[in-house]
Structure 1
Amino acid sequence: MELAELEIFRAVAQEQSVTRAARALDRVQSNVTTRIKQLEDSLGVTLFQRDSKRMTLTAEGQKLLGYAERLLALAEEARQAMRHDVPTGKLRLGTMESAAAARLPKPLARYHASYPLVDVEIRTGTAQALADAVALHQLDCAIVAHPGTGSPRQLSMEDMAPGLEGTFLFTEELVLVLPASHPRVRRPQDVRLRTLAGFSRGCTYRRCAEEWLAQADEALRRNLTVREMPSYHAILACVSAGSAFAILPKSLLALHGDSDDFHTVPVRAAHTFLVKRAGFTTAAYEALLHELRQG
């Protein structure tokens, strides 16, 4: 079993198509097909279920994918370790949408200018999904908000996924965002809307919103509906339309040109960390951490 075979296997698993995988890897389609067949023959198992539209992993293929992710990540880490003084290679960075919009543009611009040999791959998602992806070797590191309260040093990244450790970056002030016409809110019981606009489960800010609302009476909790949205733009559009409320980082709301059109109420603080697997380090990662700490 060769690393090249595992890389091809992972690409097909991700793309669910030999054609798309070949395009992503810049290989001819016949070569991808042959290498997958050779890998299956060497292992004595079928890795993909094939039909006319897509290729999906079998149970054996799903098991191999976990090993492939770890082996390929370790190989990349080893390559970079040989050039520990020069940030180079690939760095797979996960980030929440809010951090990508409000916190990352300047640090990443400086990072790219200083270290052009690093290929930064960025994936967005909920904090929990990103933490899980780091633990599964699908990402090298991720910017996530911890759902716990207290000081940053009191929080453990193990609460999010086993084997993770994190470096504190910044604290976000979370605010309840309501239409400007909504009556003044002092406590959860004062919220008249019954729809919360937010991301899917696994979003730390959604969890904070639900925990804050849990202080309200039984009627509000029982009648609350969560409308899952694909972006913060969509969330704010729902609030502007008067059909929902949201809980967002104050730094993100400040980027919105029409922030005066909303009524906001402070809710709580949420601490944000750069998480990685325990023991993982490369020059590319350390350089990124330095830039993120500069803000």
Structure 2
Amino acid sequence: MLNLNANKEKLKMQTNLFSGGQKFFEDALAKLNNFEFNECITLLNEARSIDPALANINFFREIAISCKNSGLNPQSTHVEIADIWQELKARQLELGGASQACVEMLRLFSYRLRELDPFDSKGLLPGCDYFLHESACLLHLKNFQAAHDLLIDALDQHGENIPARYWGYLGDAAFAQQNFFEANSAYVKLLAANPFDIDWATLKNKALRTLFTEITANFSIKMAYAHLPYRAWSEGIIEIHSGNIFIAELLKKFDDSFEQNNFYDKARNTHIFSLYVFAEQARTRADLMPERRARMKELNPELFQEYLQRIA
């Protein structure tokens, strides 16, 4: 019996040690995401001393050391991070591919570049695509033409079925070069496809940021994103041009599944309502579909009444 109790105590001590090592490891990753590299390295060393078998300690330790040696720290600016991002991409091309450490560092930079912005730092929202395209780094570096060229290449390769964030970057690149027609078209597609996916850190259309701030005074962050497309149109910040095929194709999938729609998700319904508004604005009066008006009313009765008054 004594031996059995002794074994239990030994097992309990080992479990505590291992769980302690895991806790140090998790804390280290949090420090890594915050660019607190010295603290990250210290915590990883502690985790390794407690549980040498923990996976990936050396992997993340090397990443922290590499970032630290690059001169990055919690105070690093968007431009400094984007500059290192570009160096990593260049190294990746030289090596003929990306190492796993390089991929992880690019992911780390993607998160950090977004979280430096006060809107994005509120956390990842449902439906948001947390992916950074190389063009975003070029935008941070104010190399707008190169960013624009990269995005046009992406469109040539993948068509218009690209992440919503790409449309935002294209809008930013065009806006910065005073190509406002192209910028408007890209921002419309961003807001139509996924308003949650705006990268505020690169956004050049300051009117959208101001409007979003105003909306957040009356709604939750999630609902503010959902209201943004309609409000951007109603305030004249974006224009919907007739014959917009992108919106028509995007809305078709909602038309096809309308009966299965979850009417308890107010944010999603408000966003879909905006799509119906966009689609209606892109049509001629002869092309209007009465059944869509009924759907708009069902999706958001209050906005529907406001919309009717606005277009009367």
Normalised to the residue count of structure 2, the TM-score between the two structures is 0.28
Higher helix fraction: Structure 1 or Structure 2? 2
Q: Answer 1 or 2: higher relative contact order, Cα 8 Å, separation at least 6.
A: 1
Higher strand fraction: Structure 1 or Structure 2? 1
Higher Rg: 2
Normalised to the residue count of structure 1, the TM-score between the two structures is 0.29
